[in-house]
Amino acid sequence: MHLTEEQLNEYLDEATTERAQIEAHLSSCEECAARLSTLQNVFAELDSLPELELTKSLAAPFTLHPSLPAQLPKFLTLTAFLQAAVALVALIVAVPFASALLPQIELPSFTKLFFQIQTQWTVWLDQLSTFNLPTFQPINLPTLEMSSLLFTLAGVSVLWILGNGLLLRNQMK
């Protein structure tokens, strides 16, 4: 059995409990002696490398600026509150606006949608219980109504982000 890399490393680090055994093996095994001297050369070379100073501290961007308070500044809380208020107003404003822009589209009736899904579910359950292969009956999803809802949500999101930027910019000054 030759010496393992771990044994050789521990021997070099003088952190081994089997020093005598290792030395006995090294004196009788050229291969392991050669491996040991290779390792020694590598470590010697590493030690001889100059310690290079980093031109820029990598830790600095991650270190909290000491002047920053530990708690969230008050204006951030205020900003979040104002955001919520603005978003609520925007939502209320945007809903009739969206339906006025698309007058032929009614806002989705969730009750209607719910009953459609429930009905479809019942049909599927019936088909499963009678062991028939379910025939695909597409739910008449109100896709146009859904797109109207998405349109409204997208508008609110944009307003939210814009409001966020404006509020932060003003309060940072």
Binding site for Zn ion (CB under 5 A): 2, 29, 31-32
Q: Which is nearer to Zn ion, 2 or 74 (CB)?
A: 2
Least distance to Zn ion from the beta carbon of 28, Å? 8
Least distance to Zn ion from the beta carbon of 22, Å? 10
Tallying the residues shown for the chain, one arrives at 173
Q: Which is nearer to Zn ion, 34 or 89 (CB)?
A: 34
Q: Which is nearer to Zn ion, 32 or 156 (CB)?
A: 32
Least distance to Zn ion from the beta carbon of 39, Å? 13
Query: Which whole-number Å values give the CA distances from 149 to 52, 146, 154, in the listed order?
Result: 59, 5, 9
* 142 CB-side CA count, 13 A: 19
Q: Is 62 exposed, middle or buried (0-12, 13-18, 19+ CB in 10 A)?
A: exposed
